[in-house]
Protein backbone atom coordinates (compact mmCIF):
# COMPACT_ATOMS: atom_id res chain seq x y z
CA UNK A 1 0.00 0.00 0.00
CA UNK A 2 1.46 3.46 -0.86
CA UNK A 3 2.56 5.52 2.14
CA UNK A 4 0.68 8.82 2.45
CA UNK A 5 2.71 12.03 1.96
CA UNK A 6 1.18 13.33 5.17
CA UNK A 7 2.72 10.51 7.22
CA UNK A 8 6.21 10.84 5.74
CA UNK A 9 9.10 12.85 7.19
CA UNK A 10 9.90 16.19 5.56
CA UNK A 11 13.08 18.13 6.28
CA UNK A 12 12.96 21.92 6.06
CA UNK A 13 16.50 23.17 5.50
CA UNK A 14 16.70 26.87 6.30
CA UNK A 15 19.61 28.86 4.90
CA UNK A 16 20.04 31.68 7.40
CA UNK A 17 18.82 29.40 10.19
CA UNK A 18 19.76 31.76 13.01
CA UNK A 19 17.94 34.77 11.59
CA UNK A 20 14.68 36.28 12.77
CA UNK A 21 12.43 34.68 10.16
CA UNK A 22 14.02 31.24 10.55
CA UNK A 23 13.84 31.35 14.37
CA UNK A 24 10.19 32.43 14.29
CA UNK A 25 9.33 29.73 11.73
CA UNK A 26 11.15 27.07 13.77
CA UNK A 27 9.48 28.12 17.04
CA UNK A 28 6.12 28.29 15.24
CA UNK A 29 6.54 24.82 13.78
CA UNK A 30 7.38 23.32 17.18
CA UNK A 31 4.37 25.08 18.69
CA UNK A 32 2.15 23.67 15.91
CA UNK A 33 3.54 20.21 16.57
CA UNK A 34 2.65 20.61 20.25
CA UNK A 35 -0.79 21.96 19.40
CA UNK A 36 -0.19 25.18 21.33
CA UNK A 37 -0.26 27.66 18.42
CA UNK A 38 -3.34 28.86 16.55
CA UNK A 39 -3.40 28.33 12.77
CA UNK A 40 -3.80 32.07 12.12
CA UNK A 41 -1.56 33.35 9.33
CA UNK A 42 -1.11 29.93 7.68
CA UNK A 43 -2.52 30.03 4.16
CA UNK A 44 -2.17 26.26 3.71
CA UNK A 45 -4.61 25.71 6.61
CA UNK A 46 -7.47 27.46 4.78
CA UNK A 47 -10.36 25.26 3.54
CA UNK A 48 -9.34 25.12 -0.18
CA UNK A 49 -6.11 23.38 0.81
CA UNK A 50 -7.85 20.61 2.73
CA UNK A 51 -8.31 18.66 -0.52
CA UNK A 52 -4.60 18.31 -1.28
CA UNK A 53 -2.45 16.08 0.78
CA UNK A 54 0.16 18.33 2.39
CA UNK A 55 3.01 17.24 4.65
CA UNK A 56 1.89 17.01 8.24
CA UNK A 57 3.40 19.44 10.77
CA UNK A 58 4.20 16.46 13.00
CA UNK A 59 6.53 14.88 10.44
CA UNK A 60 8.66 17.99 9.83
CA UNK A 61 12.26 18.37 11.00
CA UNK A 62 14.23 21.63 10.78
CA UNK A 63 17.94 22.05 10.04
CA UNK A 64 19.95 24.68 8.26
CA UNK A 65 23.04 26.68 7.47
CA UNK A 66 24.21 29.94 8.94
CA UNK A 67 27.44 31.90 8.76
CA UNK A 68 27.08 32.81 12.43
CA UNK A 69 27.69 30.27 15.19
CA UNK A 70 24.39 28.51 15.99
CA UNK A 71 22.38 31.13 17.89
CA UNK A 72 18.79 30.24 17.00
CA UNK A 73 17.78 30.20 20.66
CA UNK A 74 19.43 33.54 21.30
CA UNK A 75 17.50 34.99 18.33
CA UNK A 76 14.25 33.46 19.61
CA UNK A 77 14.89 34.89 23.11
CA UNK A 78 15.45 38.34 21.63
CA UNK A 79 12.25 38.04 19.61
CA UNK A 80 10.40 37.06 22.80
CA UNK A 81 11.77 40.17 24.51
CA UNK A 82 10.44 42.21 21.54
CA UNK A 83 6.97 40.55 21.89
CA UNK A 84 7.22 38.80 18.51
CA UNK A 85 7.23 35.28 19.98
CA UNK A 86 5.10 34.88 23.14
CA UNK A 87 7.49 34.18 26.05
CA UNK A 88 5.42 31.29 27.46
CA UNK A 89 5.26 29.62 24.04
CA UNK A 90 9.04 29.84 23.75
CA UNK A 91 9.49 28.28 27.19
CA UNK A 92 7.28 25.36 26.13
CA UNK A 93 9.28 24.85 22.91
CA UNK A 94 12.80 25.38 24.27
CA UNK A 95 13.88 21.73 24.40
CA UNK A 96 12.90 21.11 20.76
CA UNK A 97 14.62 24.32 19.65
CA UNK A 98 17.84 23.15 21.33
CA UNK A 99 17.57 20.00 19.18
CA UNK A 100 17.01 22.11 16.03
CA UNK A 101 20.02 24.26 16.89
CA UNK A 102 22.12 21.07 16.85
CA UNK A 103 21.14 20.63 13.16
CA UNK A 104 22.70 23.96 12.09
CA UNK A 105 25.92 23.77 10.05
CA UNK A 106 28.38 26.48 8.90
CA UNK A 107 27.18 28.02 5.64
CA UNK A 108 29.03 29.55 2.73
CA UNK A 109 29.56 33.27 2.15
CA UNK A 110 30.57 33.43 -1.50
CA UNK A 111 30.60 36.89 -3.10
CA UNK A 112 27.81 38.17 -0.91
CA UNK A 113 29.42 41.50 -0.06
CA UNK A 114 31.18 42.97 2.95
CA UNK A 115 27.99 43.82 4.87
CA UNK A 116 27.10 40.11 5.05
CA UNK A 117 30.63 38.74 5.26
CA UNK A 118 31.32 40.75 8.39
CA UNK A 119 28.47 38.92 10.17
CA UNK A 120 30.35 35.62 9.83
CA UNK A 121 31.80 34.17 13.00
CA UNK A 122 32.29 30.68 11.59
CA UNK A 123 35.14 29.76 9.25
CA UNK A 124 34.11 30.81 5.72
CA UNK A 125 36.30 30.09 2.71
CA UNK A 126 38.23 32.95 1.11
CA UNK A 127 36.16 33.62 -2.01
CA UNK A 128 39.23 34.55 -4.03
CA UNK A 129 40.83 31.19 -3.32
CA UNK A 130 38.02 28.68 -3.62
CA UNK A 131 36.26 27.02 -6.53
CA UNK A 132 32.47 27.32 -6.10
CA UNK A 133 32.17 23.57 -6.78
CA UNK A 134 33.88 22.94 -3.43
CA UNK A 135 31.24 25.02 -1.63
CA UNK A 136 28.39 23.27 -3.43
CA UNK A 137 29.83 19.92 -2.28
CA UNK A 138 30.10 21.24 1.31
CA UNK A 139 26.40 22.24 1.24
CA UNK A 140 25.41 18.90 -0.25
CA UNK A 141 27.34 16.91 2.35
CA UNK A 142 25.37 18.71 5.07
CA UNK A 143 22.03 18.08 3.33
CA UNK A 144 22.78 14.40 2.88
CA UNK A 145 23.90 13.95 6.51
CA UNK A 146 20.71 15.71 7.68
CA UNK A 147 18.59 13.37 5.56
CA UNK A 148 20.41 10.30 6.86
CA UNK A 149 20.52 11.33 10.51
CA UNK A 150 16.78 11.99 10.68
CA UNK A 151 15.59 9.30 8.26
CA UNK A 152 13.91 11.96 6.09
CA UNK A 153 11.87 11.09 3.01
CA UNK A 154 12.27 14.50 1.41
CA UNK A 155 13.92 17.89 2.00
CA UNK A 156 12.90 21.39 0.89
CA UNK A 157 15.67 24.01 0.95
CA UNK A 158 14.45 27.51 1.86
CA UNK A 159 16.69 30.55 1.50
CA UNK A 160 16.18 32.89 4.47
CA UNK A 161 19.66 34.40 4.45
CA UNK A 162 20.53 38.10 4.40
CA UNK A 163 19.88 39.99 1.16
CA UNK A 164 22.91 39.93 -1.12
CA UNK A 165 24.02 42.87 -3.25
CA UNK A 166 22.73 42.63 -6.83
CA UNK A 167 24.95 40.45 -8.99
CA UNK A 168 26.88 42.43 -11.57
CA UNK A 169 25.44 39.78 -13.93
CA UNK A 170 21.98 41.24 -13.24
CA UNK A 171 22.92 44.35 -15.19
CA UNK A 172 21.97 44.49 -18.87
CA UNK A 173 25.55 44.52 -20.22
CA UNK A 174 26.69 41.66 -18.01
CA UNK A 175 23.55 39.66 -18.79
CA UNK A 176 24.79 39.30 -22.36
CA UNK A 177 27.89 37.51 -21.08
CA UNK A 178 25.97 35.31 -18.65
CA UNK A 179 25.48 31.67 -19.62
CA UNK A 180 21.83 30.87 -20.17
CA UNK A 181 22.03 27.08 -20.03
CA UNK A 182 23.35 24.76 -17.36
CA UNK A 183 25.96 23.09 -19.63
CA UNK A 184 27.40 26.55 -20.32
CA UNK A 185 27.36 27.61 -16.66
CA UNK A 186 28.49 24.40 -14.98
CA UNK A 187 32.20 24.55 -15.98
CA UNK A 188 32.49 27.92 -14.17
CA UNK A 189 31.93 26.05 -10.89
CA UNK A 190 35.52 24.86 -11.19
CA UNK A 191 36.96 28.36 -11.69
CA UNK A 192 38.45 29.74 -8.49
CA UNK A 193 36.66 32.98 -7.54
CA UNK A 194 34.24 32.72 -10.49
CA UNK A 195 32.06 35.84 -10.77
CA UNK A 196 29.15 33.80 -12.15
CA UNK A 197 27.85 32.83 -8.69
CA UNK A 198 26.83 34.21 -5.31
CA UNK A 199 26.09 32.20 -2.18
CA UNK A 200 22.33 32.08 -2.79
CA UNK A 201 22.84 30.55 -6.25
CA UNK A 202 25.25 27.95 -4.83
CA UNK A 203 22.60 26.83 -2.32
CA UNK A 204 20.10 26.51 -5.19
CA UNK A 205 22.55 24.50 -7.32
CA UNK A 206 23.31 22.22 -4.37
CA UNK A 207 19.58 21.57 -3.87
CA UNK A 208 18.79 21.00 -7.56
CA UNK A 209 21.69 18.62 -8.08
CA UNK A 210 20.29 16.53 -5.21
CA UNK A 211 16.81 16.83 -6.75
CA UNK A 212 15.51 18.83 -3.80
CA UNK A 213 13.07 21.75 -4.33
CA UNK A 214 14.26 25.26 -3.49
CA UNK A 215 12.37 28.30 -2.22
CA UNK A 216 13.96 31.75 -2.35
CA UNK A 217 12.21 33.89 0.27
CA UNK A 218 14.79 36.66 -0.21
CA UNK A 219 15.39 39.21 -2.98
CA UNK A 220 18.85 37.65 -3.65
CA UNK A 221 19.40 36.08 -7.04
CA UNK A 222 19.03 32.44 -5.88
CA UNK A 223 17.63 30.29 -8.68
CA UNK A 224 16.27 33.14 -10.79
CA UNK A 225 18.78 32.92 -13.67
CA UNK A 226 17.99 31.18 -16.94
CA UNK A 227 20.84 28.71 -16.41
CA UNK A 228 19.47 27.63 -13.02
CA UNK A 229 15.97 27.31 -14.43
CA UNK A 230 17.55 25.06 -17.04
CA UNK A 231 19.26 23.01 -14.31
CA UNK A 232 15.99 22.59 -12.39
CA UNK A 233 14.30 21.35 -15.55
CA UNK A 234 17.11 18.92 -16.33
CA UNK A 235 16.82 17.55 -12.79
CA UNK A 236 12.98 17.45 -12.93
CA UNK A 237 12.68 19.53 -9.80
CA UNK A 238 10.71 22.68 -8.98
CA UNK A 239 11.48 25.96 -7.25
CA UNK A 240 9.76 29.18 -6.20
CA UNK A 241 10.80 32.78 -5.46
CA UNK A 242 11.64 35.67 -5.05
CA UNK A 243 11.30 37.84 -1.92
CA UNK A 244 8.39 37.02 0.39
CA UNK A 245 5.45 39.44 0.15
CA UNK A 246 4.53 40.15 3.74
CA UNK A 247 3.72 43.80 4.50
CA UNK A 248 3.85 47.08 2.62
CA UNK A 249 4.21 45.43 -0.80
CA UNK A 250 1.31 43.08 -0.02
CA UNK A 251 -0.85 46.16 0.62
CA UNK A 252 0.37 47.79 -2.59
CA UNK A 253 -0.69 44.78 -4.65
CA UNK A 254 -4.09 44.73 -2.90
CA UNK A 255 -4.75 48.46 -3.27
CA UNK A 256 -3.41 49.03 -6.81
CA UNK A 257 -6.17 46.85 -8.38
CA UNK A 258 -8.77 49.03 -6.62
CA UNK A 259 -7.41 52.18 -8.26
CA UNK A 260 -7.31 50.35 -11.62
CA UNK A 261 -10.86 48.96 -11.32
CA UNK A 262 -12.31 52.37 -10.37
CA UNK A 263 -10.38 54.10 -13.19
CA UNK A 264 -8.61 56.36 -10.70
CA UNK A 265 -5.20 57.54 -11.83
CA UNK A 266 -2.31 57.01 -9.43
CA UNK A 267 0.07 59.91 -10.01
CA UNK A 268 2.68 59.00 -7.40
CA UNK A 269 3.21 56.38 -4.70
CA UNK A 270 5.80 57.01 -2.00
CA UNK A 271 6.64 54.37 0.60
CA UNK A 272 8.96 54.97 3.55
CA UNK A 273 9.96 51.90 5.58
CA UNK A 274 11.75 52.04 8.93
CA UNK A 275 12.81 49.06 11.05
CA UNK A 276 15.68 47.93 13.23
CA UNK A 277 16.38 44.20 12.98
CA UNK A 278 19.48 42.53 11.51
CA UNK A 279 17.84 42.44 8.08
CA UNK A 280 17.46 46.22 8.37
CA UNK A 281 21.13 46.55 9.34
CA UNK A 282 22.22 44.59 6.26
CA UNK A 283 19.86 46.60 4.06
CA UNK A 284 21.41 49.79 5.43
CA UNK A 285 24.25 49.24 2.94
CA UNK A 286 23.39 50.81 -0.43
CA UNK A 287 24.39 47.69 -2.44
CA UNK A 288 22.18 45.34 -0.41
CA UNK A 289 19.36 47.90 -0.24
CA UNK A 290 19.35 48.26 -4.04
CA UNK A 291 18.42 44.56 -4.38
CA UNK A 292 15.45 44.98 -2.01
CA UNK A 293 14.21 48.27 -3.45
CA UNK A 294 14.23 46.73 -6.93
CA UNK A 295 11.78 43.99 -5.87
CA UNK A 296 9.57 46.40 -3.86
CA UNK A 297 9.41 49.04 -6.57
CA UNK A 298 8.20 47.16 -9.61
CA UNK A 299 4.78 45.94 -8.55
CA UNK A 300 2.60 48.88 -9.66
CA UNK A 301 3.17 49.24 -13.42
CA UNK A 302 1.80 45.86 -14.49
CA UNK A 303 -1.41 46.30 -12.46
CA UNK A 304 -2.08 49.93 -13.34
CA UNK A 305 -0.99 49.71 -16.97
CA UNK A 306 1.27 52.77 -16.60
CA UNK A 307 4.17 53.75 -14.35
CA UNK A 308 3.38 56.45 -11.77
CA UNK A 309 6.25 58.24 -10.09
CA UNK A 310 7.42 56.06 -7.20
CA UNK A 311 9.84 56.27 -4.34
CA UNK A 312 10.71 53.48 -1.93
CA UNK A 313 13.00 54.13 1.01
CA UNK A 314 14.26 51.68 3.63
CA UNK A 315 15.93 53.07 6.73
CA UNK A 316 17.53 51.22 9.64
CA UNK A 317 16.22 52.57 12.94
CA UNK A 318 17.72 50.32 15.60
CA UNK A 319 15.25 50.98 18.43
CA UNK A 320 12.34 49.56 16.39
CA UNK A 321 13.80 46.03 16.30
CA UNK A 322 11.59 43.63 14.31
CA UNK A 323 8.63 46.03 14.26
CA UNK A 324 8.51 47.58 10.84
CA UNK A 325 6.61 50.80 10.19
CA UNK A 326 5.74 51.63 6.61
CA UNK A 327 4.13 54.96 5.79
CA UNK A 328 2.74 55.20 2.28
CA UNK A 329 1.47 58.30 0.52
CA UNK A 330 -0.58 57.72 -2.64
CA UNK A 331 -1.48 60.77 -4.70
CA UNK A 332 -4.24 60.03 -7.20
CA UNK A 333 -6.71 61.85 -9.39
CA UNK A 334 -10.39 61.16 -10.00
CA UNK A 335 -13.33 62.55 -12.03
CA UNK A 336 -12.76 66.08 -13.40
CA UNK A 337 -9.07 65.68 -12.53
CA UNK A 338 -9.70 66.21 -8.82
CA UNK A 339 -6.57 65.25 -6.81
CA UNK A 340 -6.90 63.16 -3.69
CA UNK A 341 -4.61 61.33 -1.29
CA UNK A 342 -4.58 57.98 0.43
CA UNK A 343 -2.13 57.52 3.28
CA UNK A 344 -1.66 54.42 5.37
CA UNK A 345 0.61 53.35 8.17
CA UNK A 346 1.49 49.71 8.53
CA UNK A 347 3.06 48.48 11.75
CA UNK A 348 3.84 44.81 11.60
CA UNK A 349 6.29 42.37 13.09
CA UNK A 350 8.30 41.39 10.05
CA UNK A 351 9.08 37.92 11.33
CA UNK A 352 5.57 37.05 12.56
CA UNK A 353 4.28 37.95 9.10
CA UNK A 354 6.97 36.02 7.23
CA UNK A 355 7.27 32.83 9.31
CA UNK A 356 3.89 31.22 8.47
CA UNK A 357 4.49 31.88 4.76
CA UNK A 358 7.80 30.05 5.02
CA UNK A 359 6.00 27.02 6.46
CA UNK A 360 3.27 27.28 3.78
CA UNK A 361 5.85 27.52 0.99
CA UNK A 362 7.78 24.52 2.28
CA UNK A 363 4.57 22.47 2.30
CA UNK A 364 3.30 23.67 -1.10
CA UNK A 365 6.65 23.31 -2.85
CA UNK A 366 7.04 19.83 -1.42
CA UNK A 367 3.54 18.98 -2.66
CA UNK A 368 4.36 20.36 -6.11
CA UNK A 369 7.55 18.28 -6.26
CA UNK A 370 5.52 15.23 -5.26
CA UNK A 371 3.11 15.96 -8.11
CA UNK A 372 6.04 16.01 -10.56
CA UNK A 373 6.08 19.77 -11.18
CA UNK A 374 9.26 20.99 -12.85
CA UNK A 375 10.94 24.42 -13.02
CA UNK A 376 9.48 27.68 -11.68
CA UNK A 377 6.23 27.39 -9.73
CA UNK A 378 4.34 30.39 -11.14
CA UNK A 379 1.09 29.61 -9.24
CA UNK A 380 2.87 30.55 -5.98
CA UNK A 381 3.27 34.16 -7.22
CA UNK A 382 0.99 35.57 -4.51
CA UNK A 383 3.66 34.75 -1.90
CA UNK A 384 6.34 36.89 -3.57
CA UNK A 385 7.16 40.55 -4.27
CA UNK A 386 9.03 39.62 -7.42
CA UNK A 387 7.36 36.40 -8.50
CA UNK A 388 9.40 34.20 -10.78
CA UNK A 389 7.55 32.82 -13.80
CA UNK A 390 4.75 35.39 -13.59
CA UNK A 391 4.41 39.08 -14.41
CA UNK A 392 1.10 39.24 -12.52
CA UNK A 393 1.30 41.46 -9.40
CA UNK A 394 -2.44 41.92 -8.72
CA UNK A 395 -2.91 40.02 -5.46
CA UNK A 396 -6.45 38.89 -6.30
CA UNK A 397 -5.42 37.50 -9.70
CA UNK A 398 -2.45 35.80 -8.07
CA UNK A 399 -4.70 34.30 -5.42
CA UNK A 400 -7.13 33.05 -8.06
CA UNK A 401 -4.22 31.34 -9.87
CA UNK A 402 -3.15 29.71 -6.61
CA UNK A 403 -6.64 28.34 -5.96
CA UNK A 404 -6.91 27.04 -9.54
CA UNK A 405 -3.60 25.23 -9.12
CA UNK A 406 -4.74 23.77 -5.80
CA UNK A 407 -7.95 22.59 -7.37
CA UNK A 408 -5.99 20.92 -10.22
CA UNK A 409 -3.76 19.20 -7.65
CA UNK A 410 -6.74 17.89 -5.75
Ligand X SMILES: NC(=O)c1ccc[n+]([C@@H]2O[C@H](COP(=O)([O-])OP(=O)(O)OC[C@H]3O[C@@H](n4cnc5c(N)ncnc54)[C@H](O)[C@@H]3O)[C@@H](O)[C@H]2O)c1
Task: Write out the residues near ligand X by the rule CB under 6 A.
Answer: 15-16, 18-22, 65-68, 107-109, 112, 116, 119, 160-163, 199, 217-218, 243-244, 246, 277-279, 282, 350-351, 353-354
Nearest-approach distance from CB 152 to ligand X, in angstroms: 20
Rank residues 234 and 285 by Cβ distance to ligand X and give the closer one: 285
Nearest-approach distance from CB 306 to ligand X, in angstroms: 27
Nearest-approach distance from CB 274 to ligand X, in angstroms: 14
Q: Rounded to whole angstroms, how far apart are CA atoms 236 and 247?
A: 33
Rank residues 30 and 52 by Cβ distance to ligand X and give the closer one: 30
Q: Rounded to whole angstroms, how far apart are CA atoms 205 and 201?
A: 6
**Exposed e or buried b for every residue in 281-295, given b needs 16+ CB within 10 A?**
bbbbbeebbebbbbb
Rank residues 61 and 293 by Cβ distance to ligand X and give the closer one: 293
Among residues 33, 83, 92, 86, which one has the least CA distance to residue 62? 33
Contact status, residue 352 vs residue 84, Cβ threshold 8 Å: yes
Rank residues 251 and 374 by Cβ distance to ligand X and give the closer one: 251
Rank residues 83 and 261 by Cβ distance to ligand X and give the closer one: 83
Rank residues 248 and 373 by Cβ distance to ligand X and give the closer one: 248
**Exposed e or buried b for every residue in 48-84, given b needs 16+ CB within 10 A?**
ebeebbbbbbebbbbbbbbbbebbbbebbbbbbebeb
Nearest-approach distance from CB 294 to ligand X, in angstroms: 12
Rank residues 232 and 386 by Cβ distance to ligand X and give the closer one: 386
**DSSP β-bridge partners for residue 253:** none
Give the Å distances, CA to CA, from 69 to 18, 54, 106, 135: 8, 33, 7, 18
Nearest-approach distance from CB 322 to ligand X, in angstroms: 7
Among residues 158, 165, 108, 156, which one has the least CA distance to residue 133? 108
Nearest-approach distance from CB 5 to ligand X, in angstroms: 27
Nearest-approach distance from CB 295 to ligand X, in angstroms: 9
Contact status, residue 242 vs residue 387, Cβ threshold 8 Å: yes
Rank residues 162 and 232 by Cβ distance to ligand X and give the closer one: 162
Contact status, residue 18 vs residue 104, Cβ threshold 8 Å: yes
Nearest-approach distance from CB 47 to ligand X, in angstroms: 25
* Residue 177: other Cβ atoms inside 10 A: 10
Select the residue whose beta carbon is closest to ligand X and give its number: 19
Q: Rounded to whole angstroms, how far apart are CA atoms 20 and 296?
A: 20
Q: Rounded to whole angstroms, how far apart are CA atoms 193 and 126?
A: 9
Rank residues 163 and 230 by Cβ distance to ligand X and give the closer one: 163
Residue 287, Ramachandran bin (φ over 0: left; ψ between -120 and 50: alpha; else beta): alpha
Rank residues 19 and 132 by Cβ distance to ligand X and give the closer one: 19
Nearest-approach distance from CB 78 to ligand X, in angstroms: 10
Nearest-approach distance from CB 160 to ligand X, in angstroms: 5
Contact status, residue 213 vs residue 232, Cβ threshold 8 Å: no
Q: Rounded to whole angstroms, how far apart are CA atoms 21 and 377?
A: 22
Amino acid sequence: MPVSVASEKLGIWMVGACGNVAATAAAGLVALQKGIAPLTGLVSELPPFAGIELANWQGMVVGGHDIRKPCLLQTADRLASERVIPAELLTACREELVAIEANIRPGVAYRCGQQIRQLADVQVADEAAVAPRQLVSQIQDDLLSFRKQHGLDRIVVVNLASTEPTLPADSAEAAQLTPTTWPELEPHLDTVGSAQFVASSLYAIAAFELEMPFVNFTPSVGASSEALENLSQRKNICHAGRDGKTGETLLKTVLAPMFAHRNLEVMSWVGHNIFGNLDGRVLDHPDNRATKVATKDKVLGSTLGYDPQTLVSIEYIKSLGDWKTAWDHVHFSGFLGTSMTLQFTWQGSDSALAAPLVLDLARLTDRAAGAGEIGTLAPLACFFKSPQGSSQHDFFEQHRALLEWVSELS
